[in-house]
Amino acid sequence: MHLVLKSLFATLVLSSAALAQTTAPATTPLALPAGNSANAPVPPPPAVTAKQYVLVDYQTGRVLAEQGGDERVPPASITKVMTSYVVAAERKAGKIKDGDLVTISENAWRHGGAVTDGSTSFLELNSQVPLGDLLKGMIIQSGNDASIAIAEHVAGSESTFAALMNQYAEKLGLKNSHFVNAHGLYDPEHYMSAHDIAELSRALIREFPEEYAHYSLKDYTWNEHTQRNRNILLWRDPSVDGIKTGHLSQAGYCLAASAKRGDTRLIAVVMNTAGEKVRADEAHALLNYGFRFFETHKVYEAMAPVSEVTLWHGEAAKAKLGLAQPVLVTLPRGAYARLAATMNVQKPLSAPLNKGQAVGTFKLALDGQTVYEAPLVALETYAEGGFFKRMSDSVWLWFDDGE
């Protein structure tokens, strides 16, 4: 009799496993926590002269306003955001350290130093400078000599470093970016889009906050030369904490700026404007527009229950599901009531499950357009049930409609 039961159980388990492989996850609507429901109109963004611009929500990457956001244009010294991102990534990988002494080569001195007309950190030929100091000089002073010296130290040559920049750009999904140098001086094959600059900035802030902190410093002194950060919004608005300016005759005056007010962080990128004040005014106008007409909602806390669903073959009958990170979404003011939440959970959901294990997808949509998506995870560890529980569940799975 025992052998018959075991044979029956094995058949049922195999059959339910096959059923699980052929049953697609069902989309299930979810009720959202109460929120502000007062609907309010959102006017068009302010008129600006920038030929290309974007305003992006940091949390989700959602574009709130744009013009020519995917056009490929010379990024000028905003290039150095990618240079610092590569350095931060290589540092995290253990390949370099801030204390590394970097020799200032003739190439760095001649093509980026005080003998040129470009931005410089006034580095002395053949001197040795700690990598951490070079980074500050590149970010704050926008030193071209520091950029070249950093590239040579990290990759052996600036051309090899540019290849590394392109590899990281591909990894980040920057589809309209290509680099041939570390500083941003003009080359027809060296370009970015405003949207790519915003996405790169999001990655830098999210992955390397200690590196991003340098972008809020207002001045830096090296070799008895003190230079101010060219991002004048750092003095004008205390909520602004970065990011980078750029200027070339072929690129005009450019600025990537980020500000945080409350739970909302926005990134504005303006390209090809007529002057330093214009780029600051227009980036600031876009940021103010975003903060005035959009708001960030914390829909769920990290690891808070979002739903409880049937668990098969487990000691517990139900599994609590949630999200590993807080759910923050930026919407037009008053639009929260139009937000719809859904989840797709693998069917059937069977034990064992580990805490934090992804079991489906959570989505938020505004007026039918997805504005947030993240894996749905188990909030606890769920052990497999005993023999008879597993056999019973396998039987009931035959009659389950998958809902």
CATH code of the domain in which 242 resides: 3.40.710.10
CB 254 within 8 A of CB 279: yes
Q: Are 261 and 327 part of one and the same domain?
A: no
Q: Does residue 281 lie within any of the structural domains?
A: yes
Q: Are 220 and 331 part of one and the same domain?
A: no
Q: Are 20 and 87 part of one and the same domain?
A: no
Beta-carbon count within 10 A of 369 CB: 8
Q: Are 225 and 269 part of one and the same domain?
A: yes
Q: Are 309 and 376 part of one and the same domain?
A: yes
The residues assigned a catalytic role are 77, 80, 142
List the pLDDT tens digit at each of the 403 positions of the chain: 454 445 544 444 444 444 444 355 567 888 788 766 566 788 999 999 999 999 999 999 999 999 999 999 999 999 999 999 999 999 999 999 999 999 999 989 888 655 566 777 788 899 999 999 999 989 998 889 999 999 999 999 999 999 999 999 999 999 999 999 999 999 999 999 999 999 999 999 999 999 999 999 999 887 777 888 999 999 999 999 999 999 999 999 999 999 999 989 999 999 999 999 999 999 999 999 999 999 999 999 999 999 999 887 878 889 999 999 999 999 999 899 899 999 999 888 888 999 999 999 999 999 999 999 999 999 999 987 666 555 565 555 555 554 4
Angle subtended at Cα 396 by Cα 15 and Cα 17, rounded to the nearest 5 degrees: 25
Q: Are 202 and 72 part of one and the same domain?
A: yes
Q: Are 338 and 205 part of one and the same domain?
A: no
Q: Does residue 402 lie within any of the structural domains?
A: no
Residue with tokens 């990988």: 93
Q: Are 179 and 268 part of one and the same domain?
A: yes
Q: Are 11 and 144 part of one and the same domain?
A: no
Q: Does residue 171 lie within any of the structural domains?
A: yes
Q: Does residue 91 lie within any of the structural domains?
A: yes
Of 376, 370, 264, 372, nearest to 324 by C-alpha is: 376
Last residue of a domain, one of 292, 316, 344: 292
**What is the pLDDT, as a whole number, of residue 246?**
96
Which conformational region is residue 284 in: left (phi greater than 0), alpha (psi within -120 to 50 degrees), or beta?
alpha
Q: Are 170 and 311 part of one and the same domain?
A: no
Q: Distance (Å, rounded) from C-alpha 144 to C-alpha 141?
A: 9
Q: Does residue 44 lie within any of the structural domains?
A: no
CB 167 within 8 A of CB 191: no
**What is the pLDDT, as a whole number, of residue 123?**
85
- List phi, psi (to 5°) of 4: -65, -45
Q: Does residue 70 lie within any of the structural domains?
A: yes
Q: Does residue 166 lie within any of the structural domains?
A: yes
Q: Does residue 358 lie within any of the structural domains?
A: yes
CATH number at residue 21: 2.60.410.10
Range(s) of the domain holding residue 386? 2-30+301-397
Which residues make beta-bridge pairs with 308?
Answer: 320
- What is the side-by-side strand order in the sheet with 369-378? 27-30, 339-345, 358-366, 369-378, 318-322, 307-310
Q: Are 122 and 158 part of one and the same domain?
A: yes
Number of domains the chain is built from? 2
3-state secondary structure the chain: CHHHHHHHHHHHHHHHHHHHHHCCCCEEEECCCCCCCCCCCCCCCCCCCCCEEEEEECCCCCEEEEECCCCCECCHHHHHHHHHHHHHHHHHCCCCCCCCEEECCHHHHHHHCCCCCCCCCCCCCCCEEEHHHHHHHHHHCCCHHHHHHHHHHHHCCHHHHHHHHHHHHHHCCCCCCECCCCCCCCCCCCEECHHHHHHHHHHHHHHCHHHHHHHHCCEEEECCEEEECCCCHHHHCCCEEEEEEEEECCCEEEEEEEEEECCEEEEEEEEEECCHHHHHHHHHHHHHHHHHHEEEEEEECCCCCCEEEECECECCCEEEEECCCCEEEEEECCCHHHEEEEEEECCCCECCECCCCEEEEEEEEECCEEEEEEEEEECCCECECCHHHHHHHHHHHCCCCCC
Last residue of a domain, one of 275, 292, 309: 292
Last residue of a domain, one of 242, 275, 292: 292
Q: Are 126 and 172 part of one and the same domain?
A: yes
